[in-house]
């Protein structure tokens, strides 16, 4: 009986900790995605020499447009939820869920810190530490294709279907390149677990250079970021929602169904930013910061409290995520849109051969160094 009670207590504690991690991490992501909708328009206004959104107010206070995400959410909620008469109503309804839910599920395997000790228990700052987390990311991201294609097909609109066909072709193509760009990291770090890869980046090369992925695979990072932007369907790869051509897989959607597609795009920006930080820029790692504190080359040490170290690591990951999110917004308002033939040609004729070449060179170097 005592053993059973102890087991139940452990299960309840594990469930409570997991629930807190989900609520805090995903809650923060949803809030940040809402702020990105404002940042998107602020960045475009800055680059086009405009003021940008600044009118929404509460009791006369605008806080430079901070209330606009709330105003947009209320507007979406109260808009008419229109369903075309010829549409496949079940699939038309499910398509936004297929677009949003797989993206949210991917955050479960992203480590946003190392660990903290709570009531004598070690709590990993990751919702699910899967040994094949990188493959989970690639597999789940592929499910988002169904949301795009079903939205266009179920609408029974030829222009929406055209956007959906473009989207499916684009996402399938760039998924291949996206996966190949990460093979070099798998070869170097010897693990597909994202937490393992981040911890491996905590080492030093020649005693002072951080062993981050960008140091080992700078070329792969450029290919990865290009493929990830295309997978996210953002400018200059936004052919699936070409406003000037009046096409788009979600053109028949309104109200909260449309909001789900729009929100999924901004959540994907955060996901791409977190993956870039995790795989190539050390994730939560800070150079020379270890569990016991700061240890500089030469042996100089500065002991730090365990919880302060954990807070600094989470802050480091957050800063890297915010930086890459800002960078993706700037890219969106800087580069012109490709033609569709240029988009596919870039994938199959340029990025794919370069990704394969990167794998070959990485393997040759590792073989020459005797690490294979």
Do residues 172 and 229 make contact, with C-beta atoms less than 8 angstroms apart?
no
Residue 100 φ/ψ, nearest 5 degrees: -95, -45
**pLDDT at residue 2, as a whole number:** 63
Counting Cβ atoms within 10 Å, is residue 202 exposed (0-12), middle (13-18) or buried (19+)?
Answer: buried
What is the SS3 assignment for 123? strand
CA 22, CA 104: separation in Å to the nearest integer? 11
In sequence order, the 6+-apart residues with CB closer than 8 A to the CB of 13 are: 121
Please give the helix or strand (H or E) that residue 293 lies within, else none: strand 293-295
H helices present in the chain, as ranges: 2-47, 68-78, 89-106, 133-154, 158-181, 183-189, 194-200, 213-216, 218-231, 255-280, 306-332, 340-345, 352-368
Q: What is the mean pLDDT of each run of 10 residues along the chain (372 residues)?
A: 60 78 88 92 90 87 88 90 91 92 92 87 88 92 90 93 91 93 93 94 87 95 95 87 79 92 93 96 93 85 91 95 95 88 94 96 92 70
- pTM assigned to the model: 0.93
What is the SS3 assignment for 211? coil
């Amino acid at each position: 009986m005592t053993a059973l009670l102890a087991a139940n207590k452990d299960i309840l504690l594990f469930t409570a900790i997991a629930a807190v991690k989900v609520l805090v991490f995903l809650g923060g992501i949803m809030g940040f995605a809402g702020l990105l909708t404002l940042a998107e328009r602020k960045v475009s206004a800055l680059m086009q020499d405009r003021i940008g959104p600044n009118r929404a107010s509460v009791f006369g206070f605008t806080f430079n447009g901070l209330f606009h995400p709330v105003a947009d959410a209320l507007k979406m909620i109260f808009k008419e939820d229109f369903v075309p008469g010829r549409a496949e109503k079940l699939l038309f309804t499910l398509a936004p869920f297929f677009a949003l839910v797989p993206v949210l599920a991917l955050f479960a395997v992203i480590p946003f810190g190392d660990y903290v000790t709570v009531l004598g228990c070690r709590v990993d700052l990751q919702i699910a530490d899967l040994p094949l987390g990188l493959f989970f990311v690639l597999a789940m991201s592929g499910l988002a294709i169904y949301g795009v294609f079903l939205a266009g097909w179920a609408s029974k609109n030829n222009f929406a279907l055209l956007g959906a066909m473009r989207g499916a072709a684009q996402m399938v193509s760039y998924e291949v390149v996206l996966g190949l760009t990460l093979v070099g990291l798998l070869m170097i770090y010897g693990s597909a677990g994202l937490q393992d890869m981040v911890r491996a980046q905590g080492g030093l090369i020649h005693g002072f250079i951080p062993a981050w992925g960008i140091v080992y695979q700078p070329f792969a990072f450029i290919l990865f970021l290009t493929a990830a932007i295309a997978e996210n369907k953002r400018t200059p790869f936004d052919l699936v929602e070409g406003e000037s051509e009046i096409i788009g897989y979600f053109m028949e959607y309104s109200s909260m169904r449309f909001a789900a597609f729009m929100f999924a795009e901004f959540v994907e920006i955060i996901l791409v930013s977190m993956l870039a930080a995790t795989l190539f820029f050390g994730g939560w790692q800070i150079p020379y910061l270890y569990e016991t504190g700061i240890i500089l080359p030469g042996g100089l040490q500065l002991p730090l409290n365990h919880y302060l170290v954990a807070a600094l690591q989470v802050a480091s990951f957050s800063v890297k995520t915010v930086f890459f999110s800002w960078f993706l917004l700037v890219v969106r308002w800087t580069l012109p849109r490709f033609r569709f033939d240029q988009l596919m040609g870039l994938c199959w004729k340029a990025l794919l051969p370069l990704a394969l070449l990167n794998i070959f060179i990485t393997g040759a170097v590792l073989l020459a160094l005797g690490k294979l």
